[in-house]
Amino acid sequence: MKQDTLYTELKEILQQVKENPQKVQLLAERAILLSQKNGWIRTLALANLVLGWCHIELRVNDAAVENFQRANILFKDTRETEFVANGYFGLGSAYILMGEYTLAIEQFRMALQLMSGVESGNDLVVPVRIGLSRGLMNLGYWSDAEQELMTVTDVTTFNDVLLAEYQLLLLRLAFFRGNQRTVQDQLQLCRELVYSIASIPLSRQVEYFSSRYLMKYENVKIGESQLKKLWDGADANTNTDIYFLTYEAAMDLLSSDKPKYGIDWLNLLLDHSIPLALSHQIHISLASFYVTHLCHDRATAHYQHADRIAREMRENEVTHQWARFQAEEVHHSLRHQVAQQKKNNQILAESNALLQAVNRIAMAVNAALDQESMLRRLRDQLNGWIDTDVVGIAELKEDNLYFDCVLEGEKRLPPDRISMTETNAWSVRAVNDGRILIENNYEMNDDMPLADAPNLVRAVSFIPLKCENRVIGVLTLQSRSAHVFNSRAISLLEYMAPVIGIAFANLINLERTRELSGELNKQQQELNDVRQLMAHISDHDELTGLPNRASLPEHFDRWRTMAPFHCLLLRIVNLDELNSAAGYGVDEEIIRVIGQRLRNRIRPDDLLARTGSDQFLLFVESMRPTGRVKEFADQVIQLAIQPLRSKDTTVYADVAMGIVTFPDHGETLDELMSMATIALNYATEDESAYFCIE
C-alpha cells in the first residue's frame, strides 16, 4: 500500500470515529505499524491522531493524550496547521475528561491560535470554543467563558447537537448571572432544541436545569428532590461535568433559606473521586460559608484542605509539564536518522539525570518548613551541579523584593530590600523580564551585597520564581568561581525553577495560614470570653453580684439532692420609705450593703440570691431542732437592721423573714417559693421579725 492511499483512508475514517471507534482503532493501529516500518512520518502522525480520537470515545484518556502528543510532534515538521489544531483540540478534550482543566484550556487556546488565520468555515472552531468555555466555567472563569461564547456570532451553520450544546452553555451561564427571566427564556429554548433531537445526554442536562430552576426560584425542597433522583441515575465516569453542575446547584442551595441541603450536597461531592479543581472550589466555598456563620474551626479545616489541594494541583501541573517534555524527547527520535540515535540516547540520559536531580530537589525543598532550611537543602542538592557560595531568596510584595534569607556558607546575612523601581538591579530585571539572568564573569555591586567579600563574586544567577503564572519572588545563586553556569547547570535552573516556585509559595501560604489560624484562635477566645460574661450577666444580679431569680431553677435542682434544707425569704419592708426620705439612689446602696453583710455571714455551701427589688433568698442546710434555724434567722435579721450611712444620713432598715423547709412545705421550686412568700407576708403583717412554718 502506498503512503498517499493510506493517508487518504485515514482522513476518511477520522470522520467515522464516533460511529464505530473499535473498528477505526484497529485500522489506525495497523496504519501506525505500517508507517513506522516504512518511515512515513506524515502518515504516522495522522494515524496517531485518529487513534487518539478512538481512545477519547473509548474513555482511555491516558493513551489518548500520548497519541495526540505524538501526532502533534510529528505534524510540526509537516506544517499541516489543521491537523495540528485538531491534535490540540484532542488533547484538550482528553484533559477535560481527566479533570485537568488548566491543561485543557491551554490546549484549546493553542488550537484557536493556529486556526485564527483560517477561522471562517473551519468546522473545528465552534467545538473548540465550546470545549474551552466548558473548561473555563468548571474553573470558575465565567467572564472568560462568556467572552468565548459571545465570539460565536453565526449559529445558523451549526448542526442540531452542536447548537444544543452551545445553548445549554448559555443557560449554564445565565444561571450563574442569576437573572430569573433570562434563565426562564433560555431554559424554554433549550427544551425545544433538545426534545427535537432525542439525545439522552442532552435531555438529562435539560432535566437538570429544569430541576435547578424549580429549586432556585420556586420550591427548594421539590427541586432538590428531583436533583437527587437525577444524581442517582447519572454516570459521572462518562462526563465529569456532572460534578461541576451538581456543585453549582449546591451553591444555589447554600445561598438559599435551606443551606443545610447545600452543605450535604457539597460533602457528598467530596466523598466521590472528583477533580482536584472542584475539590479546591468546594473547600473554599465551605470555608467562606463557615467564616460568615462564625464557625471558625470548620472554616480553618476547609482552608487547610484547600491549601493542600492547591499544592497538589501545582505539583500535578509540574508533573504534566515534565511529561510533555519527556514525551517530546522520546518521540524526537522518530524525526531523525539512525545515525543520530546515539546522540539522542545521550540526550535522554542527560534528561533522566536532570529529572532525578529535579525530583531530589523537589523532595528536599518541599520538606522544608522555613526559608533558611529550604535554602540549605537546596544548596546541598546543587552540590556536584553548581559550585554555590551564596544562596538567597526574596519575596515580591508591595513593589519590593524582600531578601529575608541570604546564606553565605553557614552564616545568615542581614535582611535586605530592593525596590522594584531600581531597574538596574539584576534581581529586579529578572522579575520584570520573567526569565533567568546569568553572568559568568561578574563583579557584585550594590544590588545584592555579599557580606565581607563583595568583589570576590564572579558568577551570579537570578531566577524568577513563579506560581500559577505569577512571579512571587526571586532566587539568587552566586559563586566566587567564574563560568560555573554552563549549559548543564542552566538546564537544571530552568527545570528546578517551577519546583522552587511551588515550594516557596507553599512556605508563604504556610506562614499566612499560621497567621490566619492565630487570628481565628484569638477571635474564638474573645468570643468565648463574651459568652462567659453574657452567661454570668444573665444569671447574676448586676447590683449585688449575687445569683438572680432566673438562676434559681438550676440551684434548686442541685439543692434538692441534699434534702432536707431550709428556705429563708427576707424582705426590706421600709425600702421605699427610706428612699423617699433620704433621696434617690439610697435604695441601691441599702441593697448593696445588706447583700454584702449577708454574703459575709453565710457559710460557703449556703446559697444567697437576690430574688426581687427588696428581697433576698437563702438556702441553708437543715438545722435540727427548729430552734436552731430561728437563731440563725435572728442573726441574719440583726445583720440586716444594723444602721448604715448613705449620703451623710444614718438609715435603719426594717426587715421581715419567712422560713419554710424542703420538702415538707413544697416539692417544687414554685411551691416552696409560694409557701415562703406566705410566711413572709405573715411576718410583715404581724410586724414580727420572722415567721417560720413548722
- β-bridge partners, 402: 395, 417
Query: Residue 225 domain-assigned?
Result: no
Strand partners, 616: 570, 610
- pLDDT digit string (tens) for 279-321? 888 888 888 988 888 888 888 998 899 899 888 878 877 776 6
On whether residue 612 sits in a domain, the answer given is yes
Q: What is the pLDDT of residue 341?
A: 47
User: pLDDT at position 152, please?
Assistant: 78
Asked if residue 666 and residue 583 are part of one domain, the reply reads yes
Q: Are residues 618 and 481 in the same domain?
A: no
Q: What is the pLDDT of residue 619?
A: 93
In angstroms, the CA 666 to CA 564 distance is 11
Q: Is residue 1 very low, low, confident or very high in pLDDT (cuts 50, 70, 90)?
A: low
- Claim to verify: residue 599 and residue 501 sit in the same structural domain: no
Which of 224-228, 318-322, 358-362 shows the lowest mean pLDDT across its residues? 318-322
User: Looking at the domain assignment, is residue 222 inside a domain?
Assistant: no
pLDDT value at residue 2: 78
CA angle, corner 125, sides to 124 and 127, nearest 5?
A: 70
What cell does 471 get? 512571579
How does pLDDT run across 45-81, given as a tens digit for each residue?
899 999 999 999 898 988 999 898 888 888 876 677 8
- Residue 260 CB neighbours (<10 A): 10
Measured in residues, the chain has a length of 694
Q: Which of 289, 193, 267, 274 is nearest to 239 (CA)?
A: 274
For 328-343, letters b (16+ CB in 10 Å) and e give ebbbebbeeeeeeeee
Distance of alpha carbon 241 from its chain centroid, rounded?
Answer: 20
Within-domain flag for 234: no
The stretch 100-118 carries a mean pLDDT of 84
Please check whether residues 446 and 556 belong to one and the same domain: no
With residues binned 3-state (H G I as helix, E B as strand, rest as coil), the percentages for the chain, rounded to 5, are 65, 10, 25
476 and 403 within one domain? yes
Q: What is the spatial distance between Cα 168 and Cα 194, in angstroms, rounded to a whole number?
A: 9
Instruction: Categorize the per-residue pLDDT at 120 as very low, low, confident or very high, splitting at 50, 70 and 90.
Output: very low
Spatial separation of the C-alpha atoms in residues 186 and 183, rounded to whole Å: 5
| Whether 263 contacts 254, CB under 8 Å | yes
Tell whether the torsion through CA atoms of 407, 408, 412 and 415 is positive or negative. negative
Q: What percent of the chain has pLDDT over 70?
A: 90
Per-residue pLDDT, averaged over 597-603, amounts to: 88
Q: Which long-range contacts (CB under 8 A, 24 or more apart) does 197-205 make?
A: 197/160, 197/161, 197/164, 199/161, 199/164, 201/239, 202/161, 202/164, 202/165, 202/168, 204/230, 204/234, 205/168, 205/245
- Measured over the CA atoms of residue 153, residue 206, residue 106 and residue 36, the dihedral's sign is negative
> Residue 328: what pLDDT?
58
Residue 249 lies in a domain: no
Domain boundary among 489, 512, 535: 512
Q: What is the DSSP letter of 214?
A: I
- pTM for the predicted model, two decimal places: 0.47
Task: Name the nearest CA neighbour of 200 among 208, 471, 51.
Answer: 208
For residues 345 and 494, membership in a common domain is answered with yes
Residue 616: φ, ψ to 5°: -125, 150
Q: Evaluate whether residue 237 is within a structural domain.
A: no
554 in the same domain as 507: no
**The total number of structural domains that make up the chain:** 2
Question: Does 63 reside within a domain?
Answer: no
The stretches of 233-340 forming alpha helices (DSSP H) are 241-254, 259-270, 276-292, 296-332
Mean of pLDDT values over 259-281: 88
Residue 333 has pLDDT above 70, yes or no: no
163 has pLDDT over 90: no
Instruction: Using alpha carbons, select from 300, 354, 355 the residue that is nearest to residue 524.
Output: 300
Average pLDDT value over all residues in the chain: 84
Do 656 and 581 lie in one domain? The reply is yes
CB contact at 8 A, 404 and 394: yes
Both 368 and 490 in a single domain? Answer: yes
Q: Which of 68-82, 107-121, 491-505, 649-663 has the lowest mean pLDDT?
A: 107-121
More confident residue, 241 or 591: 591
pLDDT level of residue 659 (50, 70, 90 thresholds): very high
Burial class (CB in 10 A: 0-12, 13-18, 19+), 58: middle
Cα–chain center distance at 547 = 45
Predicted confidence band of residue 453 (pLDDT cuts 50, 70, 90): very low
Instruction: Give pLDDT tens digits for 179-203.
Output: 999 999 999 999 988 888 878 888 8
Say yes or no: 496 and 397 in one domain: yes
Residue-range definition of the domain harbouring residue 346: 338-512
Determine contact, residues 619/673, Cβ cutoff 8 Å: no
The CATH code of the domain that includes 573 is 3.30.70.270
Same domain, 553 and 625: yes
Listed range (71-80, 443-452, 615-624) with the worst mean pLDDT: 443-452
Question: Which H helix or E strand runs over 339?
Answer: none
**For residue 228, is it within any domain?**
no
Instruction: CATH number of the domain at 454, please.
Output: 3.30.450.40
Residues 481 and 623 in one domain: no
Residue 106 has pLDDT above 50, yes or no: yes
